[in-house]
Amino acid sequence: MALSGTDTDQLTIRIATCDDAPALAEFAERSFRDTFGCDNVESDMAQYVAHAFGDETQRAELTESRRVVLLAETGGVIAGYAQLMNDSAPDDIAMERPVLELERFYVAHEWHGRGIAQQLMARATEAAARSDAATLWLAAWERNPRAIAFYLKSGFVDVGSRLFLLGSDRQTDRVMSRLLRS
């Protein structure tokens, strides 16, 4: 869907509810496929999205007390989302505890370059800072330089790596963190 530049003036960012599960499931799968589909085997993509983004999966994640999902919307259309998860960190990477994971962060391709990602990251960081977390962290695929550059500009630093299994494909994610308090 093509959106005009003036639509960014009407951006709202809110906490998702269970009622958002179907729209979020569709958006999450589409965004994941748009971002990673051309660099991966379809069977691995299909296997991953089948368990990661269905309506029931989204509904369960939206009701889990350790998670919060922020939706960025304009004109009732999801433009992006950020999913935060409390108290989840790679065991082998030192981080100041407690931690909060930025588990998912996606902005639709048609919104790239319009400031949506910066606004969504600011809100996600604000939400993290209001929690008791000392560190906000995320994992980004090592073959996604655009995302890594954005996270570096957003104050994250590369602190290590971890395995990510996409279907049967073993991939490497860069683990990045940002201190929320000193």
Domain span including residue 68: 5-179
| Cis amide leading into 98 (omega within 30) | yes
- Provide the pLDDT for residue 163: 96
pLDDT at 102: 98
**CATH (domain of 83):** 3.40.630.30
Cα distance between residue 34 and residue 72, in whole Å: 18
Q: What is the pLDDT of residue 1?
A: 29
Residue 30 CA to residue 28 CA, distance in Å, equals: 6
Q: For the segment 116-132, what is each residue's pLDDT rounded down to a tens digit? A: 999 999 999 999 999 98
pLDDT digits (tens, 9 = 90+) for 83-112: 999 977 888 899 999 999 999 999 999 999
Our count of domains for the chain comes to 1
Task: Note the pTM of the prediction, 2 decimals.
Answer: 0.93
Ranges under pLDDT 50 in the chain? 1-6
- Pull the structure tokens for residue 19: 């009622």
pLDDT at residue 7, as a whole number: 54
34 Cβ partners below 8 Å, 6+ apart? 108, 109
